[in-house]
Amino acid sequence: MEYVDAADARHMPGLKLALTVGVPGRWGESAKKVLEYKGIPYVPVAQYASEPNPELVAWTGCRNAPVAVWEDEPPRTNFQDIVALAERLKPEPRLVPLDPDERQLCLGISADICGEGGWGWKRRIIMGQRPRDNEPPDMTNPGLDPKVMKLAYGGSVAEAEIAEPCLAAMLDNFAARLERQRAAGSPYFVGETVTACDIHWACFSALFVPLPHDVNPMPDWLRASYSWLGPVLEQHRHQILLDHRDLMFERHLGLPLDY
């Protein structure tokens, strides 16, 4: 992917999306795939992991990614705000159901996947706090300052211990939802068509089981980190969650990934 520097992008028309250069960040990949699924063009803006990104901060007030900016409107960083913007810019194909019950279900599942305290949030805490004596030497990126990451994302050993059973329950719940949908004749989380939560799970499933290297290349240390589940979560590796991921990328989102 070819990126534009923040200093140049801020003066461009249309939609700009700040993404982490060279890293398949889950929140960033979700934002990309929402826009790409709906056919909304955007300018990729460079954000660098664990760096101060002063030009991006001067423009948007945010150091991290993703950040979506439409024309001169305020920046959007929350997954739900980015989906809402995409729905406004191009209503079809719709990703948030019109039916109130289905809408609440869709947004609730998405919040459990990528909201604060959700699957991605808790999984990141565990990845940062797993027991180091059980960790292969290639699971830590020597280019990232642990102090900076700790300050940015927080997390403690105690939080990681609490997070693990919550994550296991989330996996069980996601799988049970898909099983009910499959029995009703649909491969999607809500209704009979793709909704935002389908895209969110497809992207965040990398923190469960990453896609193969030939379609999702990433550094060895990152693949090892994403793949490390631990003994508790290994018992909740539901095949239907991977079947859903594969269907989404093969039928709707496209491969290989580009970042």
pLDDT in tens, 35-74: 999 999 999 999 999 899 999 999 999 999 999 999 999 9
Residue 92 lies in a domain: no
Q: How many angstroms separate the CA atoms of 176 and 81, rounded?
A: 27
pLDDT of 132 reads 45
Which has more confidence, 148 or 25? 25
Q: Give 109's strand partners.
A: none
Q: How many angstroms separate the CA atoms of 15 and 9, rounded?
A: 10
Question: CA 194, 197, 200 angle in degrees (round to 5)?
Answer: 110
For 139, 164, 185, the CA distances from 103, given in Å and listed in that order, are 38, 28, 19
Residues 246 and 154 both lie in one domain: yes
Residues 162 and 244 both lie in one domain: yes
CB 66 within 8 A of CB 77: yes
Residues 57 and 126 both lie in one domain: no
DSSP code, position 133: G
- Domains in the chain: how many in total? 2
pLDDT at 185 over 70: yes
- 15-20, strands of its sheet edge to edge: 43-47, 15-20, 67-70
Question: CA 213, 201, 20 angle in degrees (round to 5)?
Answer: 60
Query: Model's pTM, two decimal places?
Result: 0.90
> At what angle are helices 100-114 and 119-129 packed, to 10 degrees?
10
Q: Which of 79, 108, 135 is the last residue of a domain?
A: 79
Residues 16 and 59 both lie in one domain: yes
Residues 138 and 13 both lie in one domain: no
| Of 95, 126, 63, 123, nearest in space to 191 by CA | 95
pLDDT at 164 over 60: yes
Q: Which of 63-72, 163-172, 221-230 has the lowest mean pLDDT?
A: 221-230
Question: In which domain, by residue range, is 73 found?
Answer: 6-79
What are the tokens at 164?
């693990």
Residue 16 lies in a domain: yes
Question: CB neighbours of 237 closer than 8 A, spacing ≥ 6?
Answer: 171, 208, 209, 229
What are the tokens at 100?
């109130």
Residue 213 lies in a domain: yes
Longest dimension (CA), the chain: 51
Residues 144 and 229 both lie in one domain: yes
DSSP code, position 76: B
pLDDT of 81 reads 98
Range 173-194 average pLDDT: 98
Residues 58 and 163 both lie in one domain: no
